[in-house]
Amino acid sequence: MISIEKFEIFGREIWIAVVFEEKIDGITFSLDGYKHLMERTNSLKAFLERRKVSVNLVEEKTDYPKIVYNVLIGRIENEDVLEFLSFRGVTPFERKVYEILTKKIKRGSVITYGELARMLSTSPRAIGNAMQRNPYPIIIPCHRVVLKSGLGNYTPKREYKQFLLEVEGVKGWTS
C-alpha cells in the first residue's frame, strides 16, 4: 500500500509518500511536485523489490505521511518513530547504522561520515553506502551525515539535504 500527502513548509510544497504493509517499508518525498514524487516512488519500489520486499502501490489514506511530516518539523523525535519501521530488506549492518544515527544524532546536529564510522568501527565508505540505501529518509536522518568539508551527496538532490538541514535549524553546513 502507499499513502501520499502534500504539506507546506518554509513556503514550499513537500509531497510525502509512505510505502507500507503492516509497518513502514519505505518513504520518499519530493520538493519538485507530484510527478517527481511518482518517479521517486517507482525508484523506491524497485529498490525494495530488489531487496525481496513485495510492494503493492494501491493508495490507502493513513497517518504515516503526517507522522513523517511531524518528524520533519520537530513535533515528533525521529527515535520515537523507529517502532513504525519494518526494516524489511535492510541488512543487519544497515539497521545498526540507522538506529545509532537516529538515536545519537539529534535534530539540529550533524556528524561526519568519518565520525559515524568511528562510532561503529567501520569505514566512512560503508557509512556512505548505508546512507545511500536508506529507505526511510527524514525518519532515519541520513541528511545529518556530512563530509568534513561540506554537505556531501544526497539522493535525489543535494538541494534536498540542504533544505532538510535548514528546516532543522542547521546553519553552518547549509550556506
**CA–CA gap between residue 100 and residue 41 (Å, rounded):** 26
Q: What residues act catalytically?
A: 142
* Residue whose C-alpha cell reads 568519518 in the numeric block: 114
The residue-averaged pLDDT of 77-83 equals 97
The residue-averaged pLDDT of 79-86 equals 98
Amino acid in position 118: R
Is pLDDT of 164 > 70?
Answer: yes
135 Cα distance to chain centroid: 6
Q: What pLDDT, on a 0 to 100 scale, did the predictor assign at position 174?
A: 52
Which range has the worst mean pLDDT, 36-40, 126-130, 155-159?
155-159
Q: What does the pLDDT look like over 132-163, one tens digit per residue?
A: 999 999 999 999 999 998 888 887 889 999 99
Is pLDDT of 79 > 60?
Answer: yes
Amino acid in position 28: T
SS (H, E, C) 100-168: HHHHHCCCCCCEEHHHHHHHCCCCHHHHHHHHHCCCCECCECHHHEEECCECCCCCCCHHHHHHHHHHC
Query: What kind of architecture, by CATH, is found in domain 2-167?
Result: 2-Layer Sandwich (3.30)
Q: What pLDDT, on a 0 to 100 scale, did the predictor assign at position 175?
A: 47
Is pLDDT of 6 > 70?
Answer: yes
Task: Write b or e for each residue in 121-138: b if 16 or more Cβ atoms lie within 10 A of its Cβ, otherwise e.
Answer: eeebebbbebbebbbbbb
Spatial CA neighbour of 68 closest among 133, 164, 166: 164
Containing 49, the helix (H) or strand (E) segment is helix 34-50
Cβ-based burial of 58 (10 A; exposed 0-12, middle 13-18, buried ≥19): exposed
* Residue whose C-alpha cell reads 529518509 in the numeric block: 137
Question: Which residues on neighbouring strands pair with residue 140, listed in sequence order?
Answer: 137
pLDDT averaged over every residue in the chain: 95
Look at the pTM and tell me if it is higher than 0.85.
yes
End-to-end CA distance of the chain: 38
